[in-house]
Amino acid sequence: MSPFQQEILFAAIVTAVACSLPGVFLVLRRMAMMSDAISHVLLFGIVVSFMIVRNLHSPLLFVGATLSGVLTVALVELLKRTRLVREDAAIGLVFPMLFSIGVILTKLKARNIHLDADSVLLGMLEFAPYAEVHIGGAAMPFWRVVMIPALLLNVALITVFYKELKLATFDAALAASLGFMPGLLHYLIMTSVSLTAVTAFDAVGPVLVVAFMVVPAATAYLLVDRLSLMLVLSAAIAVAGAVVGCWISRHWEHANTAGMITVSLGAIFAATFLLSPRRGLLAVAIRRHRQRNEFLQTMLTVHLLNHEGTAEETEESRLDGLHEHLRWKPQQVERVVRWAKRGGLVEQHGEQLVLTESGRARARDLFGG
């Protein structure tokens, strides 16, 4: 791997971790689409800041972009508190409005400069090493100057306010009663999201910013229940997606690195969504199948217990007549009886089914003894 490729990989890894950490709180707060909204309305903040300073290299553009993200969060909160619209609808109202204003202002006020919607919205990770700044006479890639501090800031924020953020995320009412000011913590984490999006979107583009913030956290959510483990696993998944995506783009000519990383993250999520041992589709299907089997076996034991010692016992417990008494298909009766025999719930004597002590206990447990 050449030094140029190593720089791209390093940029992808740092950006992945920096985005994935605050992304965990977005997913847990059910505000995943806020990352998409913030990453797009940055254009509005950049254009407004440029109209004020008339300098593309001014740090005020960075400040304006960050404030536009905070403005998005504030407007969404304002609409949500009216209780006339839900949070997802509020995001859908604010995000297109600010984004459209940014596009219009770009076309009207920044037509003759190197600032247009395409250049702002389409990130090219391959170009990250080319953008350099000079610090103390030494040239350094610009992404390092902004992304590494953003990563360190996110790590410090989560480390210092871990308990407060955890409590405010899972129980805002309790956090408020304990004096933790969940509203302030909400704006703190949203400012972190906005700041991270500002530093990352120029190099990788808004699509990859959203992917890094949402997909690793959503994947980790399917695997673990503890917040600390979710943070670590989310960062690890983001790094894995970045490494795999960079590797694929390196060996696949004309492949966009950011696109390959996004696809890799999507593939990791899809595999987890299917195969997660606790929440995956396959595990859920197996669990539901097992629960249904256990329920049907319990119904069989209840039926046999209800007629045990009665004049109808011989007729009601006959294997060839159960499908009529239980309103089951003959194939279903055969399958349930086979499971019940394997589980030691019933015994078969010719065409008669007889409850074992275990089967009798299960039927009685359904009615509390």
Per-residue pLDDT at 114: 52
What pLDDT score does 117 carry? 47
The pLDDT of residue 369 is above 60: no
C-alpha separations of 27 from 22, 35, 139, 245 in Å: 9, 10, 38, 23
Does position 157 have pLDDT exceeding 90, yes or no?
yes
Rounded to an integer, what distance in angstroms lies between the CA atom of residue 109 and that of residue 204?
25
Do residues 194 and 41 lie in contact, with contact meaning Cβ atoms separated by under 8 Å?
no
Q: Which residue, among 196, 263, 164, has the nearest Cα to 23 in the 3D structure?
A: 196
Domain residues for the domain of 50 are: 3-209
Provide the pLDDT for residue 101.
85
Which of the two residues, 101 and 160, has the higher pLDDT score? 160
- Which of 193, 209, 225 finishes a domain? 209
Q: Once rounded to an integer, what is the mean pLDDT over residues 353-369?
A: 83
Question: 89 pLDDT exceeds 50?
Answer: yes
Q: Is residue 253 part of a domain?
A: no
The Cα 14–Cα 239 span in angstroms is: 8
Query: Phi and psi of 225, rounded to 5°?
Result: -110, -20
Domain assignment present for residue 269? The answer is no
> Cα angle at 117 between 112 and 122, to 5 degrees?
125
Cβ neighbours of residue 159 closer than 8 Å, sequence gap 6 or more: none
Apex 91 CA angle, 90 and 94, nearest 5 = 85
- Whether residue 202 is predicted with pLDDT greater than 80 in this model: the reply is no
Q: Between 206 and 104, name the one with better pLDDT.
A: 104
Q: Are the CB atoms for 62 and 45 separated by under 8 Å?
A: no
- 148: in domain: yes
Rounded to whole angstroms, the Cα distance separating 199 from 284 reads 39
Per mean pLDDT, which range of 45-59, 111-125, 148-162, 209-223 is the poorest? 111-125
Q: What is the pLDDT of residue 214?
A: 92
Reading phi first (left if > 0) and then psi (alpha if -120 to 50, else beta), residue 134 is in beta
When mean pLDDT is compared across 34-48, 177-191, 241-255, 325-339, the lowest value belongs to 34-48
Q: Does the pLDDT at position 215 exceed 80?
A: yes
For the segment 187-195, the average pLDDT, to the nearest whole number, is 89
Task: Specify whether 190 is located in the same domain as 287.
Answer: no
pLDDT tier for residue 210 given thresholds of 50, 70 and 90: confident
Residue 120 pLDDT > 80: no
C-alpha 354: how far from chain center: 51
- 287 is written with which tokens? 């669990």
Question: Among 110-114, 300-304, 338-342, which is the least confidently predicted range?
Answer: 110-114
Residues 6+ apart with CB under 8 A from 67: 45
**What's the number of domains the chain is made of?**
2
The domain boundary, picked from 150, 182, 209, lies at 209
pLDDT at 275 over 70: yes
pLDDT for the residue 367: 67
The mean pLDDT of the chain is 85
Pairing mode of beta strands 138-141, 346-349: unpaired
| Residue that terminates a domain, selected from 175, 190, 209 | 209
The pLDDT value given to residue 349: 86
Choice among 106-110, 115-119, 362-366 with the minimum mean pLDDT? 115-119
Distance from first CA to last CA of the chain, Å, rounded? 70
- What is the reported pLDDT for 235? 97
pLDDT band (50, 70, 90) for residue 118? very low
232 assigned to some structural domain: no
Tell me what pLDDT residue 144 has.
Answer: 85
Residue at 248 is within a domain: no
Q: Please report which confidence band the pLDDT of residue 124 belongs to, taking 50, 70 and 90 as the band edges.
A: low
pLDDT of residue 216: 96
Distance, in Å, from the CA atom of 214 to the CA atom of 232, rounded to the nearest integer, reads 14
Q: Give the integer Cα–Cα distance in Å for 262 and 349.
A: 61
User: Residues near 312 by Cβ (< 8 Å), separated by ≥ 6?
Assistant: none
Residue 52, pLDDT score = 84
Per-residue pLDDT, averaged over 292-321, amounts to 88
Residue 113 pLDDT greater than 70, yes or no: no
Judged by DSSP in three states, 278 sits in coil
Length of the chain as a residue count = 369
Q: Tell whether 181 and 325 lie within a shared domain.
A: no
Residue 241 has a CB neighbour count (10 Å cut-off) of 30
The domain that holds 30 is classified in CATH as 1.10.3470.10
Q: Check pLDDT > 90 for residue 272.
A: yes
The CATH number covering residue 327 comes to 1.10.10.10
Specify whether 128 is located in the same domain as 13: yes
Q: 262 in a domain, yes or no?
A: no
Among the listed residues 147, 255, 186, the one whose alpha carbon sits nearest the alpha carbon of residue 26: 186
Cβ within 8 Å of residue 314, ≥6 positions away: 352
The fraction of the chain above a pLDDT of 70, given in percent, is: 93
